[in-house]
Structure 1
C-alpha cells in the first residue's frame, strides 16, 4: 500500500485526533485570515482617506527660528518664487496669501457689537483683509465651513483685479450685493482704490467670537484679489510678496521630493519659513484604524505562535504513539522519507480542509467583528474631538492646559467602517502560514523517531 492511501486510512481510523487537529488548524486559519483581511482593509481605507483629503503642504513662518520673536516682522517670499513651486509636476493646486489692514472709505460701516476692533489694532474703520490668489482653496471654504452665497470665488485669473469677498453681515448692514463698489484705503498713507464685490460669503461664527488669527469680528473679515490689494501698499520695486502659501500635492508620498524641489528652487528665500505637511486630517480620520490594525496583528501573532506550539505537541504525541507502526514499516523495507511524507500529507490534508472551511465564514465574521471594534474606537475618538474646547480669546491656552494644535479638523470624521474583502492573495498568505506550521510541526517529532533503527523502535516500544 502506498503512503498516500495509508495517510487516508490513518486519518479516518484516528478520527478523534484528526478532529482535534482540524479544530486547532481552523482556529489558526480563522485568526490569521481575519488579521490579514483587517490589515488589508485598513490599508485600503487609509489610502482612500489620503486621496479624499489630499496631501497639503503649508509654507508658513518658522516659529522655532529667528522670526519667532513677537516683535519681529513676519518673513515674506516673492509670489514669483511660489508660482515656480506651484508649477511643479508634483503639485495639483496651489494658493498664496498676504495679510494687511484695510480701511473702509466712502461711508461703508463695519459691523459693531461683536469682537473689540480696537483690541486688534484695526481702529474704528479698519478691517482685516487677506489678499489671496484663489479663495476656493482656503481651508474654511474647502472644508465647507464657509459658504459662498452669491457671486464667484477669487481665482488666479483675478490676481491683478480689484475684487472682494464680503461676509453677509457686513453686506447686509451696508446694502451690498454682488457687483457693487466700495472704497478700500491702504494701511499706511493716503492710497485708496475702488473694489468690486465679487461674492458674498457666510462665516458661521458669531460676532462675539473673534477671528482667532487676526482677533477681529468675523463679520468684518474681507478677502481680496491679492494683486489688486497689494497695490495699495506697493513695495519700492512693486514686486508682489506673500506671507503664506499652500500646495496640494498630487500624491501624499511626494512630500520628500517636493521639499527637495522647494529648497532647490527657492533657496535662501525659504529662510524664516518652514514647509509643514498638514497630515492632521488624515491622522484624525485613520486613528481608529491604527488601533484595530495593531490589535488584529497582535492577536494574529499570539494565536499563530500558540497554535504552532499546540500542533507540535499534538503531532509529537501522535508520532510517539505510532513508533511500533513505523518500526514495522521500516522492517518491511519502507523508505524513511515515505513515512515522513505520509505524516506531512496527513497534516497538509487537515490544514487544507481547515483553510477551506475558514474561507467560507471568516469574511462575514471579520466584517461583524471589525464593525464592532472600529465603531467603539471611532466613537471614543469622536467624543475626544467633540470635548475639545478652544482657549479663551486672547489666550494661547497653555496656561489652561490647552494645546491649540489639538483643535479638530472639520469634515475629517474618524473612519468607523471598513469593507472586508476576501481575495486570493489573503488566502495564499493564510495557506502559506498554515502549511508552513503543519510541515514544521511534522518535521520536528518525525525526525526524532526516524533517527532510530527498526530494531530499536520495536524493542523499546513506547
Structure 2
C-alpha cells in the first residue's frame, strides 16, 4: 500500500484525533485570515481617506524665528517662487495669500454692533483684507464651513484684477450684489482702488463671535485678488510677495520629496518659514482604524503562536503513539522519507480542509466583528471631538488647559466602517501560514523517529 492511501486510512481510523487537529487548524486559519482581511481593509480605508483629504502642505511662519529685538519675524516669499513650487509634478493644486488692513471708502459701511473695532486695532473704517490667489482652496471653503452663495470664486486668472469676495451681512447692509463696487484705501498712504464684488459668501459665525485670528467681526472679512490688493500697499516696481502658501500634493507619500524640491527651488527664501504637513484630518479619520488594526494583529500573532504550539504537541503525541507502526513498516522495507511524507500529507490534508472551511464564513464573521469593534472606537473618537471646547476669545487657551492643536478638523469624521473582502492574495497568505505550521509541526517529531532503526523502535516500544 502506498503512503498516500495509508494517510487516508490513518485519518479515517483516528477520527477523534483528526477532528481535534482540524478544529485547531480551523481556529488558526480563521484568526489569521481575519487579521489579514482587517489589515487589508484598514490599509485600503486609509488610502481612500488620504485621497479624499489630500496631502496638504502649508508654508507658514516659523514661530521659533525671532529678530534681534525678540519679536517674531513676519517673513515673506516672492509669489514667483511659490508658483515655481506649485508647478512641480508632485503638486496637484496650490494657493498663496497675504494679509493687510484695508480701509473702506466711498460710503461703504462696515457691520457694527458685534466686536469692538478699537480692540481689533483696525480702526472705525478698517477691515482685515486677505489677498488670495484662489479662494476655493481656502480651508474654510474646502471644508464647507464657508458657503459661496452667489457669484464665483477668485482664481489665478483674476490675480491682477480688482475683485472681492464679501460676506453676506456686509453685502446686505450696503445693498451690494454681484458687480457692485467697493473702494478700498491703503493701510498707509493715500492710495485707493475700486474693487468689484465677484462673489458673496456666508460665514456661519455670529457677529458677536470675533474672528479668532484678527479679532474682528467675521461679517467684515474681505477676500481680494492678491495682485490687485497688493498694489495698494506696495512700492512701485516691487514684486508680489506672499505671507503663506498651501500646496495640495498628488500623493500624501510625497511629503519628503516635496520638501527637498522646495529647498532646492526656494533656498534662502524659506528662512523664517516652515513646511507644515497638514495630516491632522487624516489622523482624525483613521484613528479608529489604527486601534482595531493593532488589536487584530496582536490577536493573530497570539492565536498563531498558541496554535502552532498545540499542533506540535498533537503531532508529537501522535508520532510517539505510532512508533510501533513505523517500526513494522521500516522492518518491511518502507523508506523513511515515505513515513515522514505520510505524516506531512495527513497534516497538509487537514490544514487544507480547515483553510477551505475558514474561507466560507470568515469574511462575514470578520465584517460583523469589525463593524462592532470599529463602531465602538469611532463613537469614542467622535465623543472626544465633540467634547472639545475652544479657548475663550482673545486667549490661546494654554492657561485654561486647552491645547489649540487638539481642535477637531471639520468634515473629517472618524471612519466607522470598513469593507472586508476576501481575495486570492489573502487566502494564499493564510494557506502559506497554515501549511507552514503543519509542516513545521510534522518535521520536529518525525525527525526523532526516522533517526532510529526498526530494531530499536520495536524492542523499546514507547
Q: Same fold (TM over 0.5)?
A: yes
Aligned counterparts of 2:93 and 2:287: Cα–Cα separation in 1: 27
Aligned counterparts of 2:433 and 2:423: Cα–Cα separation in 1: 16
Aligned counterparts of 2:236 and 2:230: Cα–Cα separation in 1: 12
- 1:228: Cα distance to partner? 0.6
Aligned counterparts of 1:67 and 1:116: Cα–Cα separation in 2: 31
Structure 2, unaligned stretches of length 5 or more? none
Q: Which aligned pairs between 1:96-111 and structure 2 lie closer than 5 A?
A: 96-111=96-111
| Partner residue, 2:132 | 132
| Partner residue, 2:115 | 115
What is the CA deviation profile of residues 95-143 of structure 1, one whole-angstrom value per residue up to 9, with x for unaligned ones?
0000000111112111111122211210111101000000000000011
What is the CA deviation profile of residues 67-122 of structure 1, one whole-angstrom value per residue up to 9, with x for unaligned ones?
69873441000101111111111111110000000111112111111122211210
| Partner residue, 2:160 | 160
| Partner residue, 1:207 | 207
| Partner residue, 1:268 | 268
CA RMSD in angstroms comes to 1.1
- 1:209: Cα distance to partner? 1.2
Q: Which aligned pairs between 1:40-51 and structure 2 lie closer than 5 A?
A: 40-51=40-51
| Partner residue, 1:258 | 258
- 1:45: Cα distance to partner? 0.5
Given the superposition, is the C-alpha separation of residues 403 and 69 from structure 1 closer, same or farther in structure 2, using an over 3 Å criterion?
farther
Aligned counterparts of 2:84 and 2:213: Cα–Cα separation in 1: 28
| Partner residue, 2:14 | 14
| Partner residue, 2:451 | 451
| Partner residue, 2:177 | 177
- The 8 Å contact of residues 65 and 72 in structure 2, kept in 1 or not, is answered as no
Say whether 1:308 aligns with 2:305.
no
| Partner residue, 2:147 | 147
Given the superposition, is the C-alpha separation of residues 70 and 186 from structure 1 closer, same or farther in structure 2, using an over 3 Å criterion?
farther
Given the superposition, is the C-alpha separation of residues 227 and 298 from structure 1 closer, same or farther in structure 2, using an over 3 Å criterion?
same
- The 8 Å contact of residues 359 and 427 in structure 1, kept in 2 or not, is answered as yes
Aligned counterparts of 1:73 and 1:198: Cα–Cα separation in 2: 34
Aligned counterparts of 2:357 and 2:72: Cα–Cα separation in 1: 70
- 1:223: Cα distance to partner? 0.3
Aligned counterparts of 1:185 and 1:307: Cα–Cα separation in 2: 77
| Partner residue, 1:282 | 282
Aligned counterparts of 1:413 and 1:179: Cα–Cα separation in 2: 38
Taking structure 1 as the reference length, what is the TM-score of the superposition?
A: 0.99
| Partner residue, 1:439 | 439
- 1:222: Cα distance to partner? 0.4
- The 8 Å contact of residues 67 and 272 in structure 1, kept in 2 or not, is answered as no
- 1:167: Cα distance to partner? 0.2
Say whether 1:352 aligns with 2:358.
no
What is the CA deviation profile of residues 189-218 of structure 1, one whole-angstrom value per residue up to 9, with x for unaligned ones?
111111111110000011111111111110
- 1:257: Cα distance to partner? 1.1
Q: Secondary structure at the match of 1:113?
A: coil
| Partner residue, 1:371 | 371
Q: Secondary structure at the match of 2:196?
A: strand
- The 8 Å contact of residues 210 and 217 in structure 1, kept in 2 or not, is answered as yes
Q: Secondary structure at the match of 2:342?
A: helix
- 1:396: Cα distance to partner? 0.7
Aligned counterparts of 1:210 and 1:204: Cα–Cα separation in 2: 12
Taking structure 2 as the reference length, what is the TM-score of the superposition?
A: 0.99
Aligned counterparts of 1:376 and 1:64: Cα–Cα separation in 2: 40
Aligned residues: 462
Q: Using the TM superposition, name which of 47-56 and 109-118 deviates more.
A: 109-118
Aligned counterparts of 1:117 and 1:352: Cα–Cα separation in 2: 77
- 1:229: Cα distance to partner? 0.5
- 1:63: Cα distance to partner? 1.1
What is the CA deviation profile of residues 324-365 of structure 1, one whole-angstrom value per residue up to 9, with x for unaligned ones?
101101111111100000000000000000000000000000
What is the CA deviation profile of residues 157-190 of structure 1, one whole-angstrom value per residue up to 9, with x for unaligned ones?
1101111011001111111111100111111111
- The 8 Å contact of residues 21 and 311 in structure 1, kept in 2 or not, is answered as yes
- 1:255: Cα distance to partner? 1.0
| Partner residue, 1:332 | 332
Aligned counterparts of 1:151 and 1:67: Cα–Cα separation in 2: 43
Q: Secondary structure at the match of 2:145?
A: coil
